[in-house]
Amino acid sequence: MVQEIIPVKLKMTNCFLIRGNSGFLLVDAGPPKSSDLFRQALLGLSIDPADIKMIFLTHGHWDHWGSLRDIKDLTAAPAAINHREKEWVEKGENHLPGGIGTWGKIVVGLMKAMPIKSQLTATGIDIALNDEDLSMETYGIKGRLIHTPGHTDGSMSLLLDSGEAFVGDLAMSGFPRLGGPGPFVVGKDINTMKDSWQILLDAGARVIYPSHGKPFNAEVFDKYC
Ligand SMILES: [Zn+2]
């Protein structure tokens, strides 16, 4: 059975609500000052904030957890992130990746000029994820979390049994990437990213939901792997 996927765009970041048997899983918590947008989205969808049972952070960059504190206050849901990036959130740190290629380096330069650090609020993480696959059955979701490093060492993806993969910044299909879907233009290591794409393909990913840009067919990965 295909589970319901509800995109919730918080400023520049695509977040997602996945409806499970006993509530919702939220993928990522947006950049700073986007909790009002989130609250309005829930109102529009007639979703009770208390029905959100877990907040899964794909990785520790600012635009994925900047509103975590407010969203946790609203939902009372526990937040989970890979153990490597738990401290980034708990200490309110702004870690920027390196740029891949000339354009990537320009993008990182622009990020460095943004006053991000002052907008971040250190927020407690409730679940430190390790690198083993983790079934989401406990939360009524038919799917699992998979360690998919490359953009950052602690990047993880949610793969539903029906083939939809929520990959954070492991790939993208919109600005600042130019052209069609493919690798993120910033990240730790492009070869590790490609290895992670292969992991997702082997695990049955069919449709990729990036945090920036529209969903795309996982076959796009074939030309890079
Ligand atoms: Zn990122």
CA 141 to centroid of ligand 1, rounded, Å? 24
CA 184 to centroid of ligand 1, rounded, Å? 9
For residue 188, give every residue at least 6 positions away whose Cβ sits within 8 Å of its Cβ, in sequence order, or none.
97, 98, 149, 150, 151, 152, 153
Residue 158 to residue 187: CA distance in whole angstroms: 19
CA 146 to centroid of ligand 1, rounded, Å? 16
pLDDT the model gives residue 195? 95
CA 210 to centroid of ligand 1, rounded, Å? 11
pLDDT the model gives residue 2? 61
Quote the domain boundaries for residue 78: 5-223
- Would you say the pTM of this structure is higher than 0.85? yes
CA 51 to centroid of ligand 1, rounded, Å? 27
Question: In percent, how much of the chain has pLDDT > 90?
Answer: 77
> CB within 5 A of ion ligand 1: which residues?
61, 169
Give the mean pLDDT of the chain: 94
Q: How confident is the model at residue 132 (pLDDT cuts 50, 70, 90)?
A: very high
pLDDT at 1 over 70: no
For the segment 67-95, the average pLDDT, to the nearest whole number, is 97
Q: How confident is the model at residue 115 (pLDDT cuts 50, 70, 90)?
A: confident
CA 63 to centroid of ligand 1, rounded, Å? 7
CA 77 to centroid of ligand 1, rounded, Å? 22
Indicate the pairing of strand 171-172 with strand 182-183.
Answer: antiparallel
Cα angle: 200, vertex 139, 71; to 5 degrees? 95
CA 113 to centroid of ligand 1, rounded, Å? 16
pLDDT the model gives residue 222? 82
pLDDT the model gives residue 4? 95
Question: In percent, how much of the chain has pLDDT > 70?
Answer: 99
Structure tokens at 60: 């520790």
Structure tokens at 117: 């650090």
Structure tokens at 177: 């990437």
CA 1 to centroid of ligand 1, rounded, Å? 31
Any bridge partners for residue 222, and if so which?
A: none
Number of domains in the chain: 1
| CATH code: domain of residue 167 | 3.60.15.10
Residue 45 to residue 18: CA distance in whole angstroms: 13
Residue 202 to residue 200: CA distance in whole angstroms: 5
Indicate the pairing of strand 207-210 with strand 164-168.
Answer: parallel
